[in-house]
Amino acid sequence: MNPRCSKTEAGRAEIKARALPLSRTARNLLLIIDGSRPANEWLGLVHGATEADLEGLLAQGLVEAAAAPAGAPAASQGKREPSVEQLTAAMNALSYDQLYTLLTSQAKERFGLIKGYRVILDVEKCANLQEMQGVAQRFLNQVKEEHGEAGMRHLRVALGIQG
């Protein structure tokens, strides 16, 4: 099971007081965790964080299992995530300017400072729509490879695709 977790009042107080002897990774996990993502996604965002760190935070009452945020699709609803082909088609329907805006706004957010900057450099080199679509396809493949279905869902939202 992979619940969504959020900070408790005790967790918020611990962030301010720093009274408990938490490991660096557990403290970093406590700082960023909220109910917007499943626990395994948060573990993936904190370098070196393990399930033991999360279990320790749960055991100490610093975080708790939270309900999925309102409007988040439940897995039991049977909605199928869009495929790479569907996202490619949506991106190919965009104009040069729309692709430019999408890719430059998403690059740093998806890949961080260095990799995001490289994507932006590739975008800046594009002289026409066909080249921009090629960069968009590489971007999409990179999101799929590095972030999996969670990244694809985020990109679907950015493209305004209803799922």
What angle do the packed helices 129-159 and 84-92 form, to 10 degrees?
120
Token pair for residue 81?
């995530």
Does pTM top 0.85 for this prediction? Answer: no
Q: Which one is predicted more confidently, 147 or 161?
A: 147
pLDDT at site 67: 57
Q: Which of 121, 94, 120, 109 is nearest to 147 (CA)?
A: 109
Please check whether residue 80 is in contact with residue 162, taking contact to mean a CB–CB distance below 8 angstroms. Answer: no
Selected residue with higher pLDDT from 82 and 110 = 110
Q: What is the pLDDT of residues 6-27, one digit of tens each?
A: 888 888 898 888 899 999 888 8
pLDDT higher than threshold 60 for residue 156: yes
Asked if 35 and 72 count as a contact pair (C-beta separation under 8 A), the reply is no
Q: What is the pLDDT of residues 88-132, one digit of tens each?
A: 888 888 889 988 988 988 888 888 889 889 999 999 999 999 999
pLDDT at 158 over 80: no
